[in-house]
Structure 1
Amino acid sequence: MLQRLLVLLLALGLAACSGLPPNAVAPKVSVAEVDVKSLGLFEQHFDVGLRVSNPNDFELKIEALDFELEVNGRPFARGLSRVPTLIAATSSTVLRVDAIMQSKHLIQQIKTLPPESLKHGLPYRIKGRVKTDRSASWLPFDRAGVVGGDAKSPGGGAI
């Protein structure tokens, strides 16, 4: 009986160490802007500005972040950052991340992009994971929004 109790306490202790502190909220990630860095035959490089918000009453250090960005329901670009970034309590910052798009995804975007979407805005979805100094594991994120056009985006940004 005592062994089972010790095993249960150890399991609970390990589970508690795997996430953020109690009552903490994971950082929120949205697209702020996307700029073209270079265009190539096989891949394109972008400078993606990600708005990372810390809703907690303590600072967070972002140790790493990786993401996949979809535009208009299709793959657009992937990126990874391992640049440590400190975000003050209840504030946000724009984290600059290099992202790569394969030419096949660019061709699909061009083929399926309805002309009116530029006027009304493009729907986007960003999903990925973030590693903070307060968590032993990666924390997932998934956010959708609309950029450009006349649409006002809660996730905001310009692509």
Structure 2
Amino acid sequence: MPFFRSLWSGRAARLAAILAIVTLTFSGCAGLFGGDPLRVNVAGIEPLAGQGLEMRFNIKLRVQNPNDSAMSFDGVSLDLELNGKPFASGVSDQSGSVPRFGETVVNVPLTVPAFAAVRQAFAFADAAQSGQIPYILRGKLAGGLTGTSRFVSQGTLSLPALGMAAP
């Protein structure tokens, strides 16, 4: 019986040590996950060569980190809605880091399926009176040491005036 008691106390001690290490590790990382969300804004849009009936764009995202530790990422995913309807999506295997209290620009190619473009053309005709198109950009910066960071950026796009130019 003393053999089993010493074996059990040895296992219990090892289990307690493992639990203590895991607890300390996660509490040490808690500061990384409890920070403020990233700020993501569209910095620019450039046309890309399309394939078939698709339109393609390169969207430049300015990612700002308001935290006191760098945030690394390994992949980006985006979904763009115009007028409350899905319009474009894109992914990139770009990796990098957003420095503490810093910013970086991330490039993501977006694809607009032909049917989405046709559907939005009709929506643009309806929105031409107000000249404003609401958009929502949802995405995530994946991976890295801090895990996946999701973001949402929304606003309105201004359509150019469609009136006739005076001579």
| Superposed displacement of residue 102, structure 1 | 0.7
- Matched residue of 2:35: which SS? coil
Is the 8 Å Cα contact of residues 134 and 154 (structure 2) preserved in structure 1?
Answer: yes
| Superposed displacement of residue 143, structure 1 | 2.4
2:153 pairs, out of 140, 143, 154, with: 143
Give the 3 Å change call, closer, same or farther, for CA 102–16 of structure 1 in structure 2: farther
Q: Distance in 1 between matches of 2:69 and 2:112?
A: 35
Q: Which moved more, 1:118-127 or 1:67-76?
A: 118-127
Whether 2:45 is the aligned partner of 1:46: answer no
Is the 8 Å Cα contact of residues 123 and 147 (structure 1) preserved in structure 2?
Answer: yes
RCO (CA 8 Å, sep 6+): is it higher in 1 or 2? Answer: 1
| Superposed displacement of residue 12, structure 1 | 5.9
- Matched residue of 1:57: which SS? coil
| Superposed displacement of residue 30, structure 1 | 2.5
The one-letter code matched in structure 2 to 1:145 is: G
Is the 8 Å Cα contact of residues 72 and 144 (structure 2) preserved in structure 1?
Answer: yes
Structure 1 counterpart of 2:103: 92
Give the 3 Å change call, closer, same or farther, for CA 22–107 of structure 1 in structure 2: closer
Counterpart mapping for 1:1-150 below 5 A: 21=32, 23-114=34-125, 116-117=127-128, 120-135=131-146, 137-148=147-158
**Gaps in structure 1 of 5+ consecutive residues:** 151-159
Is the 8 Å Cα contact of residues 70 and 100 (structure 2) preserved in structure 1?
Answer: yes
Q: Distance in 2 between matches of 1:43 and 1:24?
A: 39
**Gaps in structure 2 of 5+ consecutive residues:** 1-11, 161-167
The CA RMSD over aligned residues, in Å, is 3.2
Is the 8 Å Cα contact of residues 32 and 69 (structure 2) preserved in structure 1?
Answer: no
Q: TM-score, normalised by structure 2?
A: 0.69
Q: Report percent identity of matched pairs.
A: 22
1:72-111 CA-partner distances (Å, limit 9, x unpaired): 2121211112212332222222211111111110011001
Q: Distance in 1 between matches of 2:129 and 2:60?
A: 20
Q: TM-score, normalised by structure 1?
A: 0.71
The one-letter code matched in structure 1 to 2:94 is: V
Q: Distance in 2 between matches of 1:20 and 1:147?
A: 37
| Superposed displacement of residue 122, structure 1 | 2.2
Q: Distance in 2 between matches of 1:83 and 1:19?
A: 26
| Superposed displacement of residue 18, structure 1 | 8.3
